[in-house]
A and B are shown apart, each in its own frame.
Chain A
Amino acid sequence: MLTKLITVSGPPSSGKTSVIIKMIESLPQLKEKCGVIKFDCLSALDEEHYAKNGITAQTGLAGNLCPDHYFVSNIESCFVWARDKDFKVLVTESAGLCNRCAPHLKEVLAVCVLDNLSGINTPLKTGPMVKMADVVVVTKSDLVSQAEREVFRFKIQQVNSKCRVLFINGITGQGADRLAKLVVNANAFETTENLKLRFSMPAALCSYCLGETRVGEDFQIGLNRKIKL
């Protein structure tokens, strides 16, 4: 048996957890066969949220490391965990920190969740998470006008013309079955050994990465760039 892997990304509070829960609930019998790993920096309360809905979830806290780098270095053991539990589907959930990276892997169904209330330029500002996604889910769109939904879709397709855009209501679950359908057709794997990131993670190697707190020029060692004013 192979296990399907789905990477879900999106800015904080965009509704990733709700979308994942509704997606899982819309597929009969998936709940028992599915695990979720939530990657976060500081604290994650979502594990309880999943548990309340009868879904097995684990949290990985990146602490003072970049959460996306933390994701890549841990995805293998997460996948092994899911295989050990005989899960058919493993969903990883991660919030972007600086929007410069994306946890999306080649061949692995990549989902990005955006909030329709978050402003018209969000698709652009969210970077590779949106650009490299196969599916962009838009939440909270029941609260905005039809025109704003259409413009939001347009702005998404401007940066990622190939993706599917799905409008999902994270509270009622409306639209979640469409995502579930894509999950059913997603690629499954035996191991994550040969997987590759869709987009390289940037070099962030300066003294501040290593814990420097002082501001002055003398303390800035490594890769730096100066603002042009």
Chain B
Amino acid sequence: MILQKEYPMVADFLSSFNLKPEDDSKNFTEIVNELPASYFEDQATDADQLFELFQEFINGLEDTQTVQSIDSLEVLAGKDKSGNSESCNLNLIPGEITCIVGPTGSGKSRLLADIEWLANADTPTGRTVLINGEKADDSKIAQMGGKLIAQITQNMNFVLDMSVEEFLRMHAQSHFMLNVEEVITEVIKLANDLSGEPFQPDTPVTFLSGGQSRALMIANVACVGQAPIVLIDEIENAGVNKKKSLDLLVKKDKIVLMATHDPLLILLADKRVVIKNGGMHKVIETNSIERDFYSELEQLDNKLQLTKDYFRYGNELKKVGDIY
């Protein structure tokens, strides 16, 4: 199989069905036609099913280049928990950061679920989501639904027993990427830059520190993930440079959503949508006063960080100016 050499994921497909062809010159039809009846019994499948799965698999390979492109995504107002009309729409475009603010339980998850499944006035909120200005039909929902949002939250961990390199290779192959090795190098370099605490390609993913894991997840979502929207949910400060992370995602033309209570992140965003009683209450664009205030806040935050480090490393304070 020539395909096997060109596309390593074909070998992965074959091995997942316990097919280990010794003769490279055979094509898939020949391989399958020569299988004994006991094979199909053992694998709980039949030849037609194998052909069908292989065909779908090859279609996936051919679709590699057609990555879903989204120029805009608009959430049209529906109703809040009390049945009152929402007071605004929400417009999301690639390369822009939007914060979702509101107390816990205000309806953030519902909004995300509406986006994730391209609501069409068919959810409890009655919202409609337009993609590139159009309503999504059933085939579009089947194709994109559930794949639009990549999430990064504080309580996510890596659970696979694999090295960073192997892990990234497997992920890139699952998206049928062709320049896999380049992508791996890029992701590791970016992740190390984000965490400032370098790891090696052969480090097992489960050995990474919290900061390193988060950094790898962000770099990976930016470079390998195909979801056009990235949701960052309450990530703590420790271990990963948030500003750089956001810059990376914006540079990769992701629509960035942040669910956070951290004023530093709220002011870094281009705008924020306020959720109240399950409804979109208003959209606030970050104004120039807020942007100036951000610098002030950042200085304060740096001071706090330096102070934390000062005591963490076992120093004793003799004079207040000693810390910064």
Q: How far is the CA of A118 from the CA of B77 in the complex (A)?
A: 40
Are the C-beta atoms of A131 and B16 separated by less than 8 Å? no
Q: Which of the residues A124, A142, A150, A175 comes within 8 Å of B171, measured between beta carbons?
A: A150
Q: How far is the CA of A145 from the CA of B170 in the complex (A)?
A: 14
Q: What residues of A have a CB within 8 angstroms of the CB of B153 in the complex?
A: 142
Given known pairs A100-B44, A128-B44, the reply for A148 and B52 (CB within 8 Å) is: no
Q: Which of the residues A128, A142, A158 comes within 8 Å of B16, measured between beta carbons?
A: A158
Q: How far is the CA of A177 from the CA of B57 in the complex (A)?
A: 29
Q: What residues of B have a CB within 8 angstroms of the CB of A157 in the complex?
A: 56
Q: Does A65 belong to the interface (CB within 8 Å)?
A: no
Q: Which of the residues B13, B41, B225 comes within 8 Å of A158, measured between beta carbons?
A: B13
Binds B, one of A32-40, A52-60, A159-167: A159-167
Most chain A CB within a 10 A radius of its CB, from B146, B217, B224: B146
Q: Which of the residues B56, B117, B151, B220 comes within 8 Å of A178, measured between beta carbons?
A: B117
Q: What residues of B have a CB within 8 angstroms of the CB of A145 in the complex?
A: 152, 156-158, 213, 217, 220
Q: How far is the CA of A164 from the CA of B224 in the complex (A)?
A: 22
Q: Does B123 belong to the interface (CB within 8 Å)?
A: yes
Q: Which of the residues B41, B113, B158, B171 comes within 8 Å of A144, measured between beta carbons?
A: B158
In chain B, positions 48-94 with a C-beta closer than 8 Å to chain A are: 49, 52-53, 56-57
Most chain A CB within a 10 A radius of its CB, from B56, B151, B156, B175: B156
Given known pairs A131-B45, A148-B159, the reply for A159 and B53 (CB within 8 Å) is: yes
Q: What residues of B have a CB within 8 angstroms of the CB of A146 in the complex?
A: 150-152, 156, 217, 220-221, 225, 227
Are the C-beta atoms of A147 and B159 separated by less than 8 Å? no
Q: What residues of B have a CB within 8 angstroms of the CB of A151 in the complex?
A: 170-171, 174
Q: Does B310 belong to the interface (CB within 8 Å)?
A: no
Q: What residues of B have a CB within 8 angstroms of the CB of A154 in the complex?
A: 174-175
Q: Does A117 belong to the interface (CB within 8 Å)?
A: yes
Closest CB in chain B relative to A50 CB, distance in Å: 24
Closest CB in chain B relative to A106 CB, distance in Å: 15
Q: Does A51 belong to the interface (CB within 8 Å)?
A: no
Q: How far is the CA of A165 from the CA of B220 in the complex (A)?
A: 22
Q: How far is the CA of A188 from the CA of B123 in the complex (A)?
A: 23
In chain A, positions 167-202 with a C-beta closer than 8 Å to chain B are: 167, 172, 174-175, 177-178, 199, 202
Q: How far is the CA of A199 from the CA of B46 in the complex (A)?
A: 11
Q: Does A143 belong to the interface (CB within 8 Å)?
A: yes
Q: What residues of A have a CB within 8 angstroms of the CB of B160 in the complex?
A: 119-120, 148
B158's closest neighbor in chain A, by CB? A145
Q: Which of the residues A150, A158, A164, A177 comes within 8 Å of B53, measured between beta carbons?
A: A158
Q: What residues of B have a CB within 8 angstroms of the CB of A127 in the complex?
A: 44
Are the C-beta atoms of B113 and A142 separated by less than 8 Å? no
Are the C-beta atoms of B109 and A174 separated by less than 8 Å? yes
Q: How far is the CA of A124 from the CA of B15 in the complex (A)?
A: 11
Are the C-beta atoms of A143 and B156 separated by less than 8 Å? yes
> Chain A residues in contact with chain B, CB under 8 A?
100, 117, 119-120, 124, 127-128, 131, 142-148, 150-151, 154-155, 157-159, 161, 164-167, 172, 174-175, 177-178, 199, 202
In addition to A145-B156, A161-B56, 10 A-B residue pairs with Cβ atoms within 8 Å of each other are A117-B159, A145-B220, A146-B156, A148-B160, A150-B225, A155-B16, A158-B53, A172-B109, A178-B146, A202-B41
Question: What are 20 A-to-B residue pairs whose CB atoms are below 8 Å?
Answer: A117-B159, A131-B44, A143-B156, A145-B152, A145-B158, A146-B156, A146-B217, A147-B217, A147-B221, A148-B160, A150-B174, A154-B174, A154-B175, A161-B53, A161-B56, A166-B146, A167-B146, A172-B109, A175-B113, A199-B44
